[in-house]
Amino acid sequence: MRQLRTRFPFQANRIRPLVRRMAKGAVLASSAALAVSCAAADAPAVSRTAADQSGWPPAPVVALTDQPEPSLVVDTPLADQLAMGLVVIRYRAENLHIVPVYGTNAVDVSPRIGHIHVTVDDAPWHWADASGEPLIIQGLPRGPHKVWIGLANPMHKVMDSKTVEFTIP
């Protein structure tokens, strides 16, 4: 699949405020954890068995040293809307948080972040989206279509992709 390099000249301006917010969040989280641990001193002991069982995701407050590969799950267009000519496609990323943060420094953050690229009907171009919201495409002509969605890292390297095909009646 073709990939067009998309330039985001605002990268540095987008990352700095995020880092500041993350630092504030870390301070607040530390304070909250301290408050909880102080309160827990008077509370009965809590069993750790649940947290130790396999199947629990890693705690998001700890940097992940070994992240599973990211993957993309794409649903078929919502039937009722498709019948009216409106294409609504739900998707979700696994092992990746969709956020509008870009650039080389964002590639190695933990948990992993990224966004999607979208191409309709093999167009030679795509658009990028970092909202995480369902795709809404209106105005496609009747007939068969396909939408390709690529899950990209903050440097726009596609790590997984899916194609959904459908027909507008």
Binding positions for Cu ion, rule: CB under 5 A:
128, 152, 156
Give 127 or 136: the residue with its C-beta nearer to Cu ion. Answer: 127
CB of 17 to Cu ion, least distance (A): 20
Give 89 or 152: the residue with its C-beta nearer to Cu ion. Answer: 152
CB of 95 to Cu ion, least distance (A): 17
Give 86 or 128: the residue with its C-beta nearer to Cu ion. Answer: 128
CB of 72 to Cu ion, least distance (A): 13
Spell out where 22-142 has E strands: 71-74, 86-89, 91-94, 97-98, 113-120, 127-129, 135-138
Return the exposure string of 99-128: e unless at least 16 CB atoms fall within 10 Å of the residue's CB, then b. Answer: bbbbeeebeebeebbbbbbbbbeeeeebeb
Radius of gyration, alpha carbons of the chain: 20
CB of 109 to Cu ion, least distance (A): 16
Q: Which of 153, 161, 160 lies closest to 107, judged by CA?
A: 153
The residue sitting closest to Cu ion, measured at its beta carbon, is 156
CB of 114 to Cu ion, least distance (A): 8
State the Cα angle at 15 between 14 and 21, rounded to 5°: 100
Give 137 or 155: the residue with its C-beta nearer to Cu ion. Answer: 155
Give 112 or 156: the residue with its C-beta nearer to Cu ion. Answer: 156
What pairing do the DSSP bridges indicate for beta strands 143-152 and 158-168? antiparallel
